Amino acid sequence: MAEALSGVNGEIIRWAREFYNMSPDEAAQAIDVDISRYLNWENGTEHPTYAKLKKISDVFRKPSAVFFFPEPPQLPSIKGDLRTLPDEIVNSFSKNVIIQFEKAKVYQLSLEELYGNKESIIAQRSSFPNDIDQLCNFFRMQLEFPISAQKARKSTKVVFEIFREKFYDLGIYVFKDAFKDNRISGICLNDDHFPVIVINNSMSFARQIFTLFHELYHLISDTSGAEIIRDDYYVALNDQQTEIERACDTFANAFLVPMDDFKLELTKRPINEDRIEELATLYSVSKEAIMYKLYKMGKMTSAEYNDLKEFFYGDAIRNGDKKKGQGGGGNHYYTQLTYLGQRYAGDVFKQYFSGKIDSVRASEMLQSKVDHLPNLETVYFRGVSR
């Protein structure tokens, strides 16, 4: 029978669980142990074996040695980054969402190593226009992607990737990941030098585009953020938090569907359900975004907008059939490179091939295992040569 490790501190196990907002039941299930035994570990009446400690370490993403500490280490909570959301909301975030904030911090460290003390356009926020429409025009010019070009693509996937590349040029770094939590469509971590946006790849490309600009406004307003799909969480916000979240949505909608251009489109054909879908495709946005525009123009009542918004919520999430045609065909390495982006992955490989970083550091920057590096390299250069 395996020997229990009496030096393991149950208080540290509890701290590690609570760090990820996990319930005892969730933790016990993830570690594959009976709930009563797990609670005994936390209470200190029993202790895990070495094998179970290794599993605890994996589930809570902490080194095994931490669980022998006399008291929990001082690690910053994501609450310090998310001033725009109340503790009630942040405490409801799943482990998978908290991990995305951890990954964003790791990306920031990697970007600093890649690019030194490079400054983002976000550092110039004090000079940005205050008026939303003027701010939209300012970023249109900075991104060098006029609304006519956006409409000409008629592909949400293509438009997203174009914006992603152009954000990179401005020093705003966009990554993707499978959040495994469809309540959150994206997060951002504010910084004057290396602001990071992470998009939930499970969302439709139209939603990903909207989230991109929702999070951009968070950065402009000098805040980190998380975009929650449903807006019923607004009841938990104070006035200032509500104002920021609504401003993020207003900016994203105003940028992606400029009012003057939209009014011209409305003169072409009558508004009905088919026309709403047609306009959504034209602007590479969701049908909800078009309905919101119509609602703000007084062409749709609040009741009509809320009813249709509820009906179209499902459009935000990519279903399995769509996903098969919008990824790497199940290729893990292609998917990983899609999450990282060609620009970032390419610059990491340049550092690696020039000898500035070793294989261990390169794999860390690429958030992959060292033995996966050759396969990532092959898939990356196969894509570049196309």
* Inside any domain, residue 270: yes
- 164 band by pLDDT with thresholds 50, 70 and 90: very high
Same domain? 354 vs 308? no
pLDDT band per the 50, 70, 90 thresholds, residue 321: very low
- 297 and 359 share a domain? no
Per-residue pLDDT at 385: 55
Establish if 131 belongs to a structural domain: yes
H or E element, residue 206: helix 205-220
Q: Do 268 and 130 fall within a single domain?
A: yes
Residues 308 and 346 in one domain: no
In the chain, how many domains are there? 3
Are 127 and 245 part of one and the same domain? yes
On whether residue 1 sits in a domain, the answer given is: no
- Domain end marker among 266, 288, 320: 320
Which pTM value belongs to this model?
0.91
Residue ending a domain, among 29, 51, 75, is 75
What is the residue range of 277's domain?
87-320
Per-residue pLDDT band for 187 (boundaries 50, 70, 90) equals: very high
Within a 10 A sphere around the Cβ of 30, how many other Cβ atoms? 18
pLDDT at residue 248 is higher than 70: yes
Assigned domain for 82 exists: no
Within a domain: 81:
no
For residue 168, give the 3-state DSSP assignment.
Answer: helix
CA–CA distance, 199 with 196 (Å, rounded to integer) = 10
Identify the domain boundary among 272, 292, 320.
320
User: Same domain for 175 and 236?
Assistant: yes
Confidence category of residue 307, pLDDT binned at 50, 70, 90: confident
Better-predicted residue by pLDDT, 73 or 80: 73
Contact 38, 28 (CB under 8 A): yes
* 208 lies in the same domain as 301: yes
Bridge-partner residues for 227, per DSSP?
186
| Position 71, amino acid | E
Residue 249 and residue 156 share a domain? yes
Q: Is 70 exceeded by the pLDDT of residue 314?
A: no
**What's the pLDDT at 75?**
79
Position 358, amino acid:
D
Domain check: are 221 and 277 in the same one? yes
